[in-house]
Amino acid sequence: MLLAKQPSLDGAPLPPEDELMKDEVSQTVNEGPIGTGSANATLQCEVEQLVAKADKFDGVIVDPICLPKDVPTFVTRLHSSLANWKSKQKKGVWLKLPTENANLVPSAIEAGFTYHHAEPQYVMLTYWIPDSPCTLPPNASHQVGIGAFVLNKKGEILAVQEKNGPLKGLGIWKFPTGLVNQAEDIFAGAIREVKEETGIDAEFVQVLGFRQGHHVAFEKSDLFFVCILRPLSSEIVVQESELEAAKWMPLDEFTTQPFYRQRRMMRKMVEICIASSKGIYKGFSPIELDTDPRMRSSVFYCSTL
């Protein structure tokens, strides 16, 4: 069984979180090489420009640890830094402002920075220096969800009724579904959702297919992966905060619901799941592989040879 690990994006242009939150800075764009001791880090915070480091794409990542607290000092150092980075032909600037520095946001916007994305602990702003189209990567464009087809040896499917959402109160039985968490693998998200919603322990088998939809959540797109899992337990414990009910349901009874007969997309998903359970359709199995010996391994989904 695979263990969930945080995926790595080799060569991704978006600065990783550890680069944006390091307590030690070995080299700054403004000052050149500086030692990594705490005394040197303090000195860096006292310079007349913002402490920053170069990224791999001729850009700049501002160190959020050394941001000045007061607005006038921030504005002075920001404008001085922008002039310096422009003279050095730098391109994109990443400015991460933690919650405690939220008072600096209006000044950064006034200086020409734009919003990139936000998380509960910070807002990310960017600035494009060259007089050319900006090539910084946009914010995440998709959310990722899973649907779990779990069939026991009796030919019964694990079916649930939603307490919330568009199917609330309609009496429709469906797969367990849910969103994959940040830094969570698809197979791990499917196992977790089944366990959380129904109390059933399950083993991931394959990804059978996926659907891409657009303008799903706040104008973002959606990737929905249909997965097949093998149950390892049988006693259902309903997640009452999310579900009205859950049960093992005869497959014929499940597939004859009008909801599936009237919707081609849902019907196709069910057909693929049934074909896989009969061994006449092959999906994609997870294989843990190294993309680079220096980086953590990630999961590749493929049809086995």
Per-run averaged pLDDT (10 residues), the chain, 305 residues:
36 49 44 40 60 94 95 96 96 97 97 95 96 91 93 96 90 94 94 97 96 85 94 96 95 92 89 93 91 82 83
Beta strand 92-98 with 60-62: parallel, antiparallel or unpaired?
parallel
Give the residue from 77, 79, 81 showing the smallest Cα distance to 69.
77
Positions of E strands within the chain: 27-28, 32-33, 52-54, 60-62, 92-98, 114-119, 122-128, 142-150, 156-162, 177-179, 202-217, 220-231, 243-250, 285-289, 298-302
Identify the pLDDT of residue 48: 87
Identify the pLDDT of residue 23: 37
- Amino acid 79 reads H
Identify the pLDDT of residue 30: 54
**Please, are residues 198 and 239 in contact by the beta-carbon 8 Å criterion?**
yes
Identify the pLDDT of residue 218: 78
Identify the pLDDT of residue 4: 37
